[in-house]
Amino acid sequence: MPAHAFVDESIRSGYLLSAAVIATGDLSVARGKLRELCKPGQRRLHMKDENDGRRREILSTLTGLNIEVYLYRASVTGRPIRDGRDECLRALVPELLQLDVTRLVIESCSQDLRDQQIVQPISNRLAVPGRFTFLHSVPAAEPMLWAADAAAWAFGKGGDWRRRVDGILAGFAQLS
C-alpha cells in the first residue's frame, strides 16, 4: 500500500533526521489523534516546548498510531550542519522509494531550496515518473510532522524516552 513520509530534524549528538512513515489509508485518523493533543490556543506540538507529562502523553499516542519511524544520524563535528542534513536526505530518499512512499513532506525552514537540490535529482533518477512528490510544509499545517519531531526528540534524548519509541522504530542508520 502506498505511504507518505513526514520529516523533521533534531540536533543532538550529531544531526538526526526523523521520517515518520504511514500508509495513506491511516493518515486522517493519525492526523486527528495528533490534533486532539493540542491544548486550546496551541497550533502545533513541539516536544521541546512540552513538560514531561505531556511528552509521555504525546509519545503514548504516537506509539498507538500505525506509523514506522526511520532515523538517520550524521556527525557534524568539524563540518557544517547542512552537510549532515544533505547526507541524511541522500540516505533517506532511496529507502523511502523502496518502501513505496509516494509523498514526502519535509518541515519547512530556511533550507528548503537546498533540500530540493538534494531530493529532486535522487527522485528523478530512482522514482517511477509521476509516482513520487515532495514538498515542504510548516508544522502547524501538517500534524504528521509532529510525529517525526516527537520520535526524533525521544530517540535523541535517550534513556526511558528512547525506550518509549522503540515499538515504532523501524530503522536507524549512523551515517558518519
Contact assessment for residue 87 and residue 80, using Cβ atoms and an 8 Å cutoff: no
Tell me which of 1 and 6 has the higher pLDDT: 6
- pLDDT of amino acid 176: 83
Listed in sequence order, the residues at least 6 apart from 144 whose beta carbon sits closer than 8 Å to its beta carbon are: 4, 6, 20, 22, 27, 30, 31, 34, 105
Contact assessment for residue 58 and residue 153, using Cβ atoms and an 8 Å cutoff: no
Q: Which of 8, 69, 47 is nearest to 161 (CA)?
A: 47
Q: Which spans in the chain are helix H?
A: 27-36, 52-63, 81-98, 112-126, 144-157, 159-163
- pLDDT of amino acid 173: 96
- pLDDT of amino acid 12: 82
Torsion angles phi and psi, residue 58, rounded to 5: -65, -45
Q: What is the pLDDT of residues 118-148, one digit of tens each?
A: 999 999 999 988 899 999 999 999 999 999 9
Model confidence, pTM: 0.95
> pLDDT band at 60, cuts 50/70/90?
very high
Query: For 81-105, what is the mean pLDDT?
Result: 96
Q: What is the pLDDT of residues 5-53, one digit of tens each?
A: 999 999 988 999 999 999 999 999 999 999 999 999 999 999 999 999 9
Query: For 80-93, what is the mean pLDDT?
Result: 96
Q: Which of 136, 147, 170 is nearest to 32 (CA)?
A: 147
